[in-house]
Amino acid sequence: MEKITFGPMPYLSIMPALLVGANVHGKPNYMTAAWATPACMVPPMVCVAINKERYTGKGIDENKTFSLNVPSVHQLVPADHCGLVSGAREDKSGVFTSFYGTLKTAPLAEECPVNIECRLFKTVDCGSHRLYIGEIAQIHADRACLTDGKPDSAKINPILYAQSTYYDLGKEVGRAFSAGKRYGQK
Amino acid sequence: MEKITFGPMPYLSIMPALLVGANVHGKPNYMTAAWATPACMVPPMVCVAINKERYTGKGIDENKTFSLNVPSVHQLVPADHCGLVSGAREDKSGVFTSFYGTLKTAPLAEECPVNIECRLFKTVDCGSHRLYIGEIAQIHADRACLTDGKPDSAKINPILYAQSTYYDLGKEVGRAFSAGKRYGQK
């Protein structure tokens, strides 16, 4: 297969579109982000990369708490809106209905089917971005998005992101820790 | 909307299934991972969370380099196989055809349409997992997966992962930094 090189650029396949929630000066604020991942199993942690100029970062620095909210395709317009305007210029506290859970200072967007409350564990300065690593304090999900008591990706209908384009989730193509058992078989 | 709480667990929507490549004792080794994200724009960085017990981590610690390889749905069986067996027990150097780029010690899986070479920037101990943050040194991609000289997600046909299930990518549902302009319009 012929390979082409691109030089270094911030690229990594498909990522989940998310809303990072933080209280800034006591008001809920949400920003669109897609650079996030689970970071640890025990204790459960996630991390999210945020440009140092972002208003939301100030709220995380201030409260040491934040949230990651998983919007569904139904929230595409308000979710993308939160990436177009800064909370420094426009009050975004009314874009979603906020509620609070265990942490009290990490606003959660009720309209999003999944809401993850995080307590800041560590901040890593990477250059233009800070990587905020947070320990998960609690996860909230819409009852309507569960199957057998667990979050159901098909019902959540999340927004996926790659290179300025949003996608929805396709079909199931295999089971993890299982499909590989066919390796080496004729 | 009625919300249910789950307690803390390592969950974050849909993630990209990847193969982390590292030389261990001079031999290429690949492990399946889905806990990874871009971490910085300038300089371009990524990070990946790896259980401390993993053989691949030893290679990253040893060489201070690693790769992230994006398998397509066509590589589902060998990709999942790399998550079922440890390089400590079985030589996985032949599962993919390895090539080397700029870094010389980060093996790249030729069959995967996108290969990202990383120089270790920082390691963060999170508990059961270490978060490896790497600066991207070079990105390689199959010429057949490009459109207008850029990686085309539809042609790459990546594997997505959530809760032990693999999915393919769905259809385009909107443009980022654009769809939100309709917010507040009647």
Q: Tell me: the pLDDT tens digits for A68-115?
A: 999 999 999 999 999 999 999 999 999 999 999 999 999 999 999 999
Smallest Cβ–Cβ distance between A37 and the set B49, B139, B172 belongs to B49
Residue A72 bridge partners (DSSP): A158
Is the pLDDT reported for residue A21 higher than 70? yes
Measured CA angle at B10 (ends A47, B7), to 5 deg? 115
Q: What's the whole-number mean pLDDT along residues B35-41?
A: 98
List the single best residue of A12, A65, A122, A165 to mutate versus B (max B Cβ within 10 A).
Answer: A12
Contacts of B69 in chain A (CB under 8 A): none
Query: Rg of chain B's alpha carbons, rounded to an integer?
Result: 18
Is the pLDDT reported for residue A149 higher than 90? no
> For B143-155, what is each residue's pLDDT tens digit?
999 999 889 999 9
- Tokens describing residue A170: 């396709």
CA distance B105 to A135: 33
B38, A15 contact by CB (below 8 A):
yes
Is the pLDDT reported for residue A62 higher than 80? yes
Longest CA pairwise span in chain B (Å): 62
CA distance A56 to A50: 8
Identify whether B43 is preceded by a cis peptide bond (ω within 30 of 0): yes
CA distance B63 to B69: 18
Q: Amino acid letter at B70?
A: V
Q: Tell me the pLDDT of chain A averaged across its residues.
A: 96
| A122 interface with B at CB cutoff 8 Å | yes
Is the pLDDT reported for residue B186 higher than 80? no
> For B50-104, what is each residue's pLDDT tens digit?
999 999 999 999 999 999 999 999 999 999 999 999 999 999 999 999 999 999 9
| B144 interface with A at CB cutoff 8 Å | yes
List the single best residue of B37, B97, B161 to mutate versus A (max A Cβ within 10 A).
Answer: B37
Residue A104, number of CB atoms within 10 A of its CB: 11
Q: Amino acid letter at B24?
A: V
> For A26-54, what is each residue's pLDDT tens digit?
999 999 999 999 999 999 999 999 999 99
Quick one: which of B2, B37, B30 has its CA closest to B16? B37
In angstroms, the first-to-last Cα distance of chain A is: 24
Measured CA angle at A131 (ends A128, A136), to 5 deg? 160
CA of residue B70 relative to chain centroid, distance:
6
Site of tokens 């769905």: B170
| Interchain CB distance below 8 Å, B37 and A35 | yes
Q: What's the whole-number mean pLDDT along residues A140-160?
A: 94
What confidence tier does A186 reach under pLDDT thresholds 50, 70, 90?
low
Which B residues in the span 75-114 are in contact with A, Cβ-Cβ below 8 Å?
Answer: 76-84, 95, 99, 101, 110-111, 114
Quick one: which of B53, B153, B51, B38 has its CA closest to A160? B153
Q: What's the whole-number mean pLDDT along residues A141-152?
A: 93
| Interchain CB distance below 8 Å, A37 and B42 | no
| Interchain CB distance below 8 Å, B129 and A165 | no
CA distance A146 to A151: 5
Site of tokens 């790497």: B134
What single DSSP character describes residue A34? -
| A179 interface with B at CB cutoff 8 Å | yes
B77, B128 contact by CB (below 8 A):
no
Write down the pLDDT at residue B185: 85
Q: Please state, for a pLDDT cut of 70, what percent of chain A lies above it.
A: 99
CA distance A178 to B80: 7
ipTM of the complex model: 0.96
> For B95-143, what is each residue's pLDDT tens digit?
999 999 999 999 999 999 999 999 999 999 999 999 999 999 999 999 9
| A151 interface with B at CB cutoff 8 Å | yes
| A42 interface with B at CB cutoff 8 Å | yes
- Chain B's closest residue to A8, CA to CA, is B138
Helix (H, G, I), strand (E, B) or coil at B106: coil
Q: What's the whole-number mean pLDDT along residues A162-186?
A: 94
CA distance B153 to B157: 6
